[in-house]
Amino acid sequence: MRRLNTHRKPPRVGDQPLFRRLLIGIVLVLVALIIVAPLVIIGVEASAKGWAVYRDTIIHPDTRHAIMLTVLAALVAVPVNTAFGIAAAWAITKFDFWGKRFLLVLIEIPFSVSPIVAGVAYLFVYGLQGIFGPTLDAWDIKILFAIPGIILASMFVTAPFVARELIPLMQAQGRDLEEAATSLGASGWRTFFSVTLPNVKWALLYGVILCNARVMGEFGAVSVVSGNIRGQTNTLPLHIELLYHDYQATGAFASASILATIAVLTIIAKVALERQGAGRVRPQAKPAESNS
């Protein structure tokens, strides 16, 4: 058995040509069927009735409103979670304190909780049958079945994204540089912006992009707290469901194509950032996770 690249001399396990080709073949077919086909069908179904219908769906007021609401949720939830992620990473990696491991687990909880459970949990805080519900109602503040509820639920499901990218990296980089900067008289903020931030910028951006994709695509948690009011509290994923159950498949797929495009752009950005080294430093056996 002869291999062209000769830097590895003996053939490694599984390198017999027949086995290799067979395995690559099976994997590629399955990837095409399971991962590529769903992406392709969105484009096919969205354009099934031609460009005019597609355009009409996208510029329909309800769709435009859903897009606006989705963007609004991202504009609030992503910066807030970024600030939280930076604060959490700074506290956890630059200091030693009691209960740190427990805090790490708490931060990761939203990844393990079903989005439906998250939505129900928010109902019991801000809903009429919840802790603050009656008070909020008395003051006429609407959180649930309104935009604040959607934003809060989105913040829950994406809370760990930025923190999880920053913590392993900042842990690996240690505290020496920051300690040197402060001992030379730099303020805390100056130390963060001139010393820490340049070292973690790609990881930060990586976390922000994954967080954004998830906020824009969140369905389960948002569908519990939104009340699904057409033209008022429908985000893009909820709008897709509504159109789909209304037997407007083409419209549903046209709206879905916007989110699918964002997903593809997210992956491209992710690959580009990974080339800068982002998403690499992490405790082993932890995948980059994004969705529900």
Nearest to another protein of 45, 62 (CB atom): 45
Token pair of 86 as six digits? 């930076």
* Of positions 182, 199, 232, 248, contacts another protein by CB under 8 A: 182
Kind plus residue range of the DSSP H or E element containing 279: none
277 vs 272: CA distance, rounded Å: 9
177 part of the interface to another protein, by CB under 8 A: no
Our finding on whether 165 is near another protein (CB under 8 A) is: no
Write down the least CB distance from residue 149 to another protein, Å.
11
Distance CA 178, CA 199 (A): 11
Q: Which of residues 196-225 bind another protein (CB under 8 A)?
A: 210, 213, 216-220, 223-224
94 and 196 Cβ atoms separated by less than 8 Å = no
Is residue 98 within the footprint of another protein (CB under 8 A)? no
Site string for another protein, 64-83 (x = CB under 8 A): -------------------x
CA 185 and chain centroid, separation: 38
The count of residues interacting with another protein (CB under 8 A) is 112
Distance between CA atoms of residues 140 and 119, nearest Å: 21
Q: Per rule CB under 8 A, is residue 24 in the interface with another protein?
A: yes
Q: For the CB of residue 85, give the shortest distance to another protein in the complex, in Å.
A: 9
- Interface pick for another protein out of 69, 88, 170, 278 (rule CB under 8 A): 88
Q: Which of residues 240-259 bind another protein (CB under 8 A)?
A: 240-241, 244, 249, 252-253, 256, 259
DSSP 8-state symbol, 227: -
Binding part of the chain for another protein, among 51-59, 60-68, 140-148, 281-289 by CB under 8 A, reads 281-289
User: Which of 255, 267, 258 has its CA nearest to residue 291?
Assistant: 267
Q: Does 183 bind another protein (CB under 8 A)?
A: yes
What string marks each residue from 104 to 143 as x (binds another protein by CB under 8 A) or -? -xxxxxx-xxxxxxx-xxxxxx-x-xxx------------
- Position 87 contacts another protein (CB under 8 A): yes
The alpha carbon of residue 152 and the mean position of all alpha carbons in its chain are separated, in whole angstroms, by 15
Token code pair at residue 207: 């976390």
Is 53 among the residues that bind another protein (CB under 8 A)?
no
